[in-house]
Amino acid sequence: MSHQNICALYARVSSPKQAKDCTIDSQIQALKERIVSDGGQLIDDMVFSDAGVSGATLIRPELERLRDAISIGAVDHLYIHSPDRLSRKYAHQALLMEEFASAGVVVNFLNHKVGTSPEEEMLLQMQGMFAEYERAKIIERHRRGKLHRARVGSVNVLSGAPYGYRYTRKQLDGKPAQYVIDLEQAKTVRQIFNWIGVDRLSIGAVCRRLGEANIPTKTGKSHWDRSVVWSMLQNPAYMGKAAFGKTKAGALMPRVRPQKHSAETPKKPHSTHRVQRKDWIEIPVPPIVSQPLYEAVQAQLDENRKRARVGERGAKHLLQGLTVCGHCHYAYYGKRVSPSTAKGKFQYAYYRCIGTDAYRFGGQRICDNSQVRTQTLDELVWAEVINALENPERLKKEYERRLNVLEKKEHERHDITALKQQKAQLKKGASRLIDSYASDVIDQQDFEPKIKQIKARITEIEEQIEQGDQSQSAQRELFLVINHLEEFAKTINVNLSTTDFITKRDTIRALVKRVEIYKEEVVVIFRIDPTPSHSVSSGPAIPGRFETPIESIR
């Protein structure tokens, strides 16, 4: 090997424990020794190591840096311990090996000779498939191992000790891992259960009492969120029966609208589902509250839920789940004016921004947006939905638009395919350009602007391909909505103004994506494209602190 050739090495371990045990250091040392024996040149900047990163993904910081270096021709020889250190997935191995080869990089594995014959290529591919198979076996063994440990009562399969307990690891003398009661926190747990089960307080009242008593949460925060208290009250560990397998990954559940700070299209292709209580695996732990008190709390929570559904304060709202603040992006929820505030007057219901509730954020509001009267907003939004459903011409145009989009989608698929082919050609061109530069056919002055131009074009094409892929999920949602339009038009009564509440709510949710409430206007975002944006001039202005009606619909 010529001393002019620049070498790089790549090492990877999957778990933080392996990284801590210096397993990755042994890989790097072995690779350095091999490079020296081959007469190669290694500089510090060419050592790429991903510690504690799974080999099942290509999104690894050091691998990304390595690929960038290879793309600009900065590497001649790459040393890796074994194919499974490069990737656990055969498809990823093949992709990376092809990418490295197209850039003129010679890949060397310590335990495997890389050749160019069909037999040697097949052997490498088989190694990749076996590595992927081995990973699947490890995952399955891990799952079955956790299941077995849960069935024999081991607490180390649980995610961590809840408030009121401390988790102690397995001891050297063989004493198993266990939950140990934290006496100070246990007092708070018993107090919370007594407030609900004996005093019959609401969860909101419990949160306020905890704040007034300056009792910190498990993470040291002064503010207790309702969801935290609710989860504690639902946890059977407090009566001595910790549960394993309460949730599982399953089919992606539809959402009325994305939650705050979440993407329109979920990053994970699955949702977390609750498992029936009879299928939980109970693990005995020291109890903090008695079983009768725990069951009394569950009965009280059920009663609170039923009361909320049928009581006046639990009134139904057409737009519940769709309304969102245009400023802080928290949801709006339906709420009636309390009798003491109304002072004998008619009690109106309002949509109110969660961000304006100081008690939810430790006594400090995070938003000053105004509340909106529910009746007026419901009527205005429903009027727009009626307008969409009562216009046969609009339905016809929407149906025709669906056909056009379907045809356009087919063209876009071909366009994306063409873009991918163009990207492959550019990469080949870049590889040839690098070869020309390495062979002194062209000088650095000619090479750098050309390779920069090619890389910029590749980046542009990759962005176009990504945009095309992201639009597919949105298109699928659009097709589902449009497919229901004609069904809505047929099944809903001719007199839409007298339609029952459930039908109204389901129809609105099918056609309206969300309702954004701002200080000066309310914007309705439709899932479909209605007629061009226009102002709603009919009807009174929105009461309360709003001075204008819905000013734009898009």
The 10s digit of each residue's pLDDT in 339-374 is 555 555 666 788 889 989 887 777 788 898 988 888
In whole angstroms, give the CA distance from residue 298 to residue 238: 13
Q: Is residue 8 classed as helix, strand or coil in its secondary structure?
A: strand
79-88, 146-155, 316-325, 534-543: least confident range: 534-543
429-444 burial code (b ≥16 CB/10 A, e <16): ebbebbeebeeeeeee
Q: What is the pLDDT of residue 215?
A: 92
383-413 burial code (b ≥16 CB/10 A, e <16): ebbbebbeeeebbeebeeebeeeeeeeeeee
Task: Band the pLDDT of 549: cuts 50, 70, 90.
Answer: very low
Task: Band the pLDDT of 471: cuts 50, 70, 90.
Answer: low
Q: Which residue has the tokens 């099944």?
A: 491
Task: Band the pLDDT of 553: cuts 50, 70, 90.
Answer: very low
Instruction: Count other Cβ atoms within 10 Å, centred on residue 216.
Output: 13
Q: What is the pLDDT of residue 288?
A: 94
Per-domain boundaries in the chain:
6-148, 165-245+280-310, 312-554
What mean pLDDT, rounded, does the chain reach? 75
CATH architecture of 6-148: 3-Layer(aba) Sandwich (3.40)
Task: Band the pLDDT of 186: cuts 50, 70, 90.
Answer: very high
14 catalytic? Reply is yes
Instruction: Count other Cβ atoms within 10 Å, centred on residue 232.
Output: 23
Which residue type does 523 have? V
Q: Which residue has the tokens 């219901």?
A: 349
The mean pLDDT of 24-35, rounded to a whole number, is 90
- Most confidently predicted of 207-211, 275-279, 430-434: 207-211
In degrees to the nearest 10, what's the CA dihedral of 210, 213, 218, 222? 90
Task: Band the pLDDT of 138: cuts 50, 70, 90.
Answer: confident
Q: What is the pLDDT of residue 539?
A: 34
The 10s digit of each residue's pLDDT in 501-538 is 777 787 787 778 788 888 888 888 876 554 443 333 33
Q: What is the pLDDT of residue 185?
A: 94
Q: Is beta strand 6-13 parallel, antiparallel or unpaired with respect to 41-51?
A: parallel
Cα–Cα–Cα angle for 17, 20, 26, rounded to 5 degrees: 105
Q: What is the pLDDT of residue 229?
A: 93
User: Which residues lie closer than 8 Å to 373 by C-beta, 6 or more apart?
Assistant: 348, 349, 350, 351, 542, 543, 544
Q: What is the pLDDT of residue 498?
A: 58
Catalytic residue among 2, 14, 49, 431: 14
CATH class given for the domain over 165-245+280-310: alpha beta
Q: Do the first three CATH levels of 6-148 and 165-245+280-310 match, i.e. the same topology? A: no
Q: What is the pLDDT of residue 238?
A: 94
Quick one: residue 524, left, alpha or beta (phi over 0 = left, psi -120 to 50 = alpha)? beta
Percent of the chain with pLDDT over 70: 68
The mean pLDDT of 541-549, rounded to a whole number, is 33
Q: Which contacts qualify for 548-552: CB closer than 8 Å, 24 or more apart?
A: 548/520, 548/521, 549/380, 549/522, 550/380, 550/381, 550/521, 550/522, 550/523, 550/524, 551/520, 551/521, 551/522, 551/523, 552/521, 552/523
Smallest CA-to-CA distance from 398 within 476, 483, 313 is with: 483
Q: What is the pLDDT of residue 35?
A: 92
The mean pLDDT of 92-100, rounded to a whole number, is 83
Q: Is residue 145 classed as helix, strand or coil in its secondary structure?
A: helix
For residues 486 and 96, the model is more confident at 96
For residues 246 and 433, the model is more confident at 246
The mean pLDDT of 266-293, rounded to a whole number, is 82
Instruction: Name the pTM for this structure.
Output: 0.45
Instruction: Count other Cβ atoms within 10 Å, centred on residue 526.
Output: 16
Q: What is the pLDDT of residue 410?
A: 47
Percent of the chain with pLDDT over 90: 16
